[in-house]
Amino acid sequence: MGCFLADEGGLRDAHDLVKTKKLIAKFSILFLAALSAQAQGTFTNLDFESATVAPSGPEPYGTFVPIGLALPAWNAYLGSVQLTQVGYNSPTLGTATVSVFGPTFSYGIIDGNYDVDLQTGANLNASIEQMGTIPANAETLQFDAAETTPLTVTFNGNVLNPVALSSGVSADGQGYSVYGANIAAWENVVGELEFTADFNGSYNCVLLDDISFSTTAVSPEPSIVALTAIGGLLFGARKWFARR
């Protein structure tokens, strides 16, 4: 009663349809995963969310942990010295360090659960770098940063000269900028991507997060000078047309 009865052929067709839909779903997931992997080349942990440190570390001054736990896939340096450990929720005053800020840190997380703090001091730069392949069709390297000291970005030693594309404020009130740099000349090239906070005479830092590659060319926000120049041109054109 109230049941739908189907013949054997109908049941077989329905079963085949379900199998087909499942296969399509699986292939779709694999295809999207392949596209995502291709979009970032072979670089990994670009948003620093792969950290496996305990999320309940002390704050504001934490401990130092193996870099493989805090920054998988990345290398870290103070000057030319490679680090085997980095700070976790460990900002310092006047001392150069590379740190990861995690979920229990009350200030400084730009996005997600983790970001990286590059702190300069005592004539030392602080940097992170990773070896990988720039993805095909990549036009722009993008990243979020909040900085009080100069930041140098290089690929295979080539300075990339990022420009500000937009700005934002994180959930905890951290102001930051989204930067973009032209990377098109190195698509499919294997090399080192490096971010360096440059010592400028005093203790300063750079917060870094959400590194990615885009197929869209760099298109920075118009500067005040540029807007003023455009306004002047429009005003001049209006006067010229008024005379005719």
Q: Of 104-113, 153-162, 178-187, which range is least confident?
A: 104-113
Q: Are 103 and 55 in contact, with CB atoms under 8 Å apart?
A: yes
User: Which residues touch 204 (CB under 8 Å, ≥6 apart)?
Assistant: 119, 120, 147, 148, 149, 197
pTM, two decimals, is: 0.73
Q: 127: closest CA among 51, 47, 194, 48?
A: 194
Q: 173 or 135: whose pLDDT is higher?
A: 135
Give me the pLDDT at residue 40, please.
56
Give me the pLDDT at residue 203, please.
82
Share of the chain above pLDDT 90, in %: 57
Q: Max alpha carbon distance in the chain (Å)? A: 89
pLDDT tens, position by position, 185-238: 999 999 999 999 999 888 889 999 999 999 999 865 454 334 434 444 444 444
pLDDT tens, position by position, 97-110: 999 998 888 777 89
Tokens at residue 165, please? 């594309």
pLDDT tens, position by position, 42-82: 999 999 999 998 765 555 567 899 999 999 999 999 999 99
| CA 87/CA 90 separation, integer angstroms | 5
What sign does the CA torsion over 35, 38, 39, 45 have?
A: positive
| CA 96/CA 125 separation, integer angstroms | 7
Domains and CATH numbers, the chain: 63-214 (2.60.120)
| CA 47/CA 208 separation, integer angstroms | 9
What sign does the CA torsion over 185, 187, 190, 191 have?
A: positive
| CA 136/CA 45 separation, integer angstroms | 19
What sign does the CA torsion over 97, 102, 106, 110 have?
A: positive
